Amino acid sequence: MMRRPLAPMPKSGPRYNEFITVPKVRVIDDEGENLGVMFTQEAIEQAAEVGLDLVEVSPNADPPVCKFLDIGKYKYEAQKKANIARKTQKTQEIKEIKMRPNIDDHDYDTKMKKVHSFIEEGDKVKITLRFRGRELSHQQLGMALLQRVAENVAEIAKVEAYPRMEGRQMLMVLSPK
């Protein structure tokens, strides 16, 4: 009988066959039946008789739980699951809307439409109010504008970071409810 060449220790994924270092393991066969606790070498031999590998599925148990599996197929299916999980996850972006403290009504409405669309898509919105020149001495106008924005989006968003000054800018962050 030809032996498989000794492969390097797996860097990621479960340990299998000769890489299982504990002396005794709890064994589950390929039909899912519990064979009980046995010596690791004996379990590896039984798995080889069936034509499968002994794979450590629960290394933190006492004794570790091992199963008769095809290691290549097991790794392939785990990789497919990880790829599907990565595709379906939604990353939340931070969109930025820039305004000035003396913004006109129509410009304000246009910016608010964009804020609504960003929040409905599930993104956070950072509202930046930039002050220039003497506007800096009238910060209460900027604070009033940001309060107006917060009131307009109150039913679909909550204020995550309340208005604060950073240099010549006033910032506020909104997130979807």
Based on the fold, state whether residues 101 and 172 are members of the same structural domain. Answer: yes
The Cα-based distances of 95 to 54, 60, 98, 133, 163 in angstroms read: 50, 43, 10, 26, 16
Based on the fold, state whether residues 104 and 163 are members of the same structural domain. Answer: yes
For the stretch 113-163, pLDDT in tens is: 999 999 999 999 999 999 999 999 999 999 999 999 999 999 999 999 999
Based on the fold, state whether residues 28 and 49 are members of the same structural domain. Answer: yes
**Res 4: pLDDT:** 63
**Res 8: pLDDT:** 64
Which helix (H) or strand (E) covers residue 150, if one does?
helix 139-152
How many domains is the chain partitioned into structurally?
2
Residue 127 counted as domain residue: yes
Spans in the chain with pLDDT lower than 70: 1-10
CATH number at residue 26: 3.10.20.80
Q: Containing domain of residue 55, as a range? A: 17-87
